[in-house]
């Protein structure tokens, strides 16, 4: 594993963040005296960002707002979420053990997320996960964000890795498209927030539990040799 860089998406891949994102969205709905939306509804919007979650939740109640109002709601969402970022968010089963094992085997680990970097760091700090990663980049870190391949290649560079010896691990069409554009093989988890089955986007390998990750990486390394 020495010389290989493994780059993880965050929401829906490393951590199940939907409960706290749903709470932040429902905080916005409270301003309109609207009923809370179910966490399951929010999951479909997580991969598209906070604005999509706000719009989607309002639309579910037949409401819409103009761009100025949306900007104000966005700031309110970010403030609430930042103050409640790890109330119910939890790492997915098996990931902590795998991060320890992969690091011990010499892999460089990194995070490439479309969260803003501040929130990504706050979340990983709260869950005692930051220590595992050589690099962490958000949508505002490098001047480009997924699906722009520069977000992924830039993250690999910050981790002092090489694109030709890297693997992306994600849960969405965006992660898969980013990896393909960067010519990086991609492992997709099927338990994240993708609306469509991840197999529809043709990742190199699909896993259903992080216990399957070492074999998947070994397979991709063998293909590259």
Pick the CATH number of 5-16+89-224 from 3.40.50.10140, 2.40.50.140, 3.10.290.10, 3.40.50.1000: 3.40.50.1000
Span 85-89, mean pLDDT? 97
Residues 85, 122 contacting (CB under 8 angstroms): yes
Note the pLDDT of residue 17: 95
CATH 3.40.50.1000 domain extents, the chain: 5-16+89-224
CATH for 18-83 is: 1.10.150
* pLDDT tens for each residue of 103-134: 999 999 999 999 999 999 999 999 999 999 99
* pLDDT tens for each residue of 161-220: 999 999 999 999 999 999 999 999 999 999 999 989 999 999 999 999 999 999 999 999
What separation in angstroms does the CA of 185 have from each of 70, 118, 170, 202, 218?
37, 28, 11, 11, 12
Separation of alpha carbons 84 and 162, rounded Å = 36
Note the pLDDT of residue 225: 79
Catalytic residue among 9, 16, 20, 175: 9
- E-strand spans in the chain? 5-8, 15-16, 90-91, 108-112, 135-137, 166-170, 186-189, 205-207
Catalytic, 9? Answer: yes
199 Cβ neighbours under 8 A, 6+ residues apart? 188, 190, 206
CATH 1.10.150 domain extents, the chain: 18-83
């Amino acid at each position: 594993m020495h010389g290989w860089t493994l780059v993880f998406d965050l929401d829906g891949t490393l951590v199940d963040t939907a409960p706290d994102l749903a709470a932040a969205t429902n905080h916005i709905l409270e301003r309109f005296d609207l009923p809370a939306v179910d966490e399951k509804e929010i999951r479909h919007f997580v991969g598209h960002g906070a604005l999509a979650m706000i719009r989607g939740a309002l639309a579910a109640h037949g409401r819409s707002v103009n761009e100025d109002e949306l900007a104000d709601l966005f700031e309110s969402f970010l403030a609430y979420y930042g103050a409640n970022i790890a109330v119910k968010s939890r790492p997915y089963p098996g990931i902590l053990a795998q991060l320890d094992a992969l690091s011990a085997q010499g892999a460089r680990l990194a995070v490439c997320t479309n969260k803003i970097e501040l929130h990504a760091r706050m979340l990983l700090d709260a869950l005692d996960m930051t220590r595992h990663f050589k690099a962490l980049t958000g949508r505002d870190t490098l001047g480009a964000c997924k699906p722009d391949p520069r977000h992924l290649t830039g993250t690999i560079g910050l981790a002092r890795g090489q694109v030709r010896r890297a693997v992306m691990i994600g849960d969405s069409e965006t992660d898969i498209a980013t990896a393909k554009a960067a010519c990086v093989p991609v492992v997709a988890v099927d338990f994240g927030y993708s609306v469509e089955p991840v197999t529809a986007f043709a990742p190199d390998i699909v896993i259903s539990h992080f216990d399957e990750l070492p074999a998947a990486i070994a397979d991709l390394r063998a293909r590259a040799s």
